[in-house]
């Protein structure tokens, strides 16, 4: 998802004097190559917006729509649920379901795809839970009800990179602790050379 966030950031902010608004960000328009790198596709209804005062409001509103859609894509990707899922009736919707899972007495494990967690006995479970909670918070920030409260696309890849970096550090620490523990059980030195 970092690839998608970076692509949208580039289109919205780093495309010279013009800005590209995709206008149709959804899972079906994200393709994976052989190396599992995500690419944003289908620019059929994309808009090229130029610089200038007359375009500022249009650009802001359009890019905010892409941000909202990116947040929904994050939710769909990590929960394996669509906003139109039959479980969402009445006041309950995908955003509310995820927001409820982030409350202090709730559990993100009940919302996010179980295949992403492993088992609670796995020492990396807490790290994965924290990372996935951070990603869901980002998704909700992208989908804030009021457009002016949504983050901009420049913040999304930064946040995802921080989550990835934190997950990598925690995983490395977990492997080191596990290795030391295994070596202690085996009677080997704690710091293998």
Distance between CA atoms of residues 121 and 106, nearest Å:
20
Residues sharing a CB contact under 8 Å with residue 86, sequence separation 6 or more, in sequence order: none
pTM over the 0.85 mark: no
Q: Hey, what domains does the chain have and what are their CATH numbers? A: 2-186 (1.10.510.10)
Q: What is the pLDDT along the chain (193 residues), one digit of tens a residue?
A: 999 999 999 998 876 667 888 999 999 999 999 999 999 999 999 888 776 545 555 556 667 889 999 999 999 999 999 999 999 998 899 999 999 999 887 788 889 888 877 666 666 777 788 888 999 999 999 999 998 899 989 999 999 999 988 877 776 766 666 565 455 565 655 554 4
Which residue shows structure tokens 């580039």? 10
State residue 53's pLDDT score.
45
Q: How far apart are CA 181 and CA 163, in angstroms?
A: 27
CA 43-77-12 angle, 5° bins:
35
The catalytic residue positions are: 24
- In order, the DSSP letters of 69-117 are HHHHHHHHHHH---TT-TT--TT--HHHHHHHHTSTTS-GGGTS-GGGT
Residue-wise pLDDT for 117-157, tens only, equals 766 666 677 778 888 899 999 999 999 999 889 998 999 99
**Within 10 Å of residue 61's Cβ, how many Cβ atoms?**
11
| pLDDT score at 178 | 57
Q: pLDDT at position 142, please?
A: 96
């Amino acid at each position: 998802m970092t690839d998608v966030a970076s692509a949208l950031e580039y289109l919205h902010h780093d495309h010279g004097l013009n800005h590209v608004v995709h206008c149709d960000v959804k899972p079906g328009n994200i393709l994976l190559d052989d190396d599992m790198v995500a690419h944003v596709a289908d620019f059929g209804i994309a808009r090229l917006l130029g610089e200038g005062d007359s375009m500022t409001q249009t650009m802001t509103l359009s890019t905010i729509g892409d941000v909202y859609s990116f947040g929904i894509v994050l939710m769909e990707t990590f929960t394996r649920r669509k906003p139109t899922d039959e479980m969402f009736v009445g006041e309950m919707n995908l955003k509310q379901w995820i927001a409820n899972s982030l409350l202090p007495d709730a559990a993100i494990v009940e919302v996010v795809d179980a295949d992403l967690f492993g088992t609670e006995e796995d020492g990396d479970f807490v790290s994965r839970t924290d990372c996935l909670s951070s990603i869901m918070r980002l998704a909700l920030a992208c989908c804030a009800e009021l457009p002016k409260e949504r983050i901009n696309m420049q913040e999304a890849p930064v946040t995802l990179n921080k989550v990835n970096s934190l997950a990598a550090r925690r995983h490395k620490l977990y492997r080191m602790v596990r290795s030391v523990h295994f070596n202690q059980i085996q009677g080997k030195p704690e710091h293998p050379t």
